[in-house]
Amino acid sequence: MLRSNQKFRVTIAKKSDDKTFKDAISSGIKLVNKHQRNILRAHNSDAEIALLKGCLSSIDIEPLKFSNFLPGSLEIFGTKVDQDIKAFCETPKLVNRKCSSINFSWNSGDRIKQILLKYISENCFEEYYDGIREADMDFSNSKFQSRELFRAFIISAVSDVNTDNEKNWFVVVLLDPYHLVIPTSNDKAEHIKRYKQAKKYENSFRDIYKDEFKNIRIVDEEMFF
């Protein structure tokens, strides 16, 4: 587990961490930032969904009141978070259903960046910041009447530019089951309450859901360069 005094980088993740998952792509496919290059032909509905190596680890950053640790398997079973994770693992393309862009120049922009840098390098952030999206992970609510807490942060990019094989990619870099990355502006007390509860947990996504996630492609950060 990782706490706020430990900096996580996907580039130093042990290879053995992902033995239960598909082999990470480390060569052969290269992505570019379609937003910087005005590449618009790749369709989101056909996007390839992947997980950035390391994104299933959990972190606790006390100064930012952020944690994405999970309770034990018995405690989480049947909860909204449990249902949404299983729905995503069964149908990964659900992640592109409701995505929104992030304005890093607004008040929470620096906070979001600090948390993302626990999972991606500074170089990756600078290259793709305008392709980072917040995705609503409320998959188990078929009526979509209200937004729940669970969010994912993804990088939208494209491979094989200007070829017949051009493809859009959504790479999940951070999972935020308690909506703690971007605070709710009108309810600071509720944010702190959720953080204090999450801080008690000690399990990562890999700890609880290694079997569910094993069929989703894992990619290395070098794929972005």
Token pair belonging to 106: 């607004």
Question: What pLDDT, in 10s, does the model give residues 77-133?
Answer: 999 999 999 999 999 988 887 888 898 988 889 999 999 999 999 999 999 988 999
What percentage of residues in the chain have a pLDDT greater than 90? 54
What percentage of residues in the chain have a pLDDT greater than 70? 76
pTM of the model: 0.82
Cβ(94)–Cβ(87) under 8 Å? yes
Of 56-60, 112-116, 189-193, the least confident: 189-193
Amino acid letter at 140?
S
Mean pLDDT of 127-156: 81
CA distances from 2 to 42, 81, 169, 201 (A): 36, 21, 28, 12
CA distances from 98 to 135, 154, 162 (A): 6, 12, 27
Q: What is the mean pLDDT of the chain?
A: 81
Neighbouring residues of 102: CB distance < 8 A, sequence distance ≥ 6: 109, 112, 132, 133, 134
> Which of 8-12, 40-44, 179-183 has the largest mean confidence?
179-183
Mean pLDDT of 147-160: 88
Strands 60-61 and 48-52: unpaired
**CA–CA dist 150, 178 (Å, integer):** 6
Predicted local confidence at residue 162, as pLDDT? 79
1 vs 155, more confident: 155
Cβ(211)–Cβ(20) under 8 Å? yes
Residue 61 pLDDT exceeds 50: yes
CA distances from 179 to 113, 145, 151 (A): 15, 18, 6
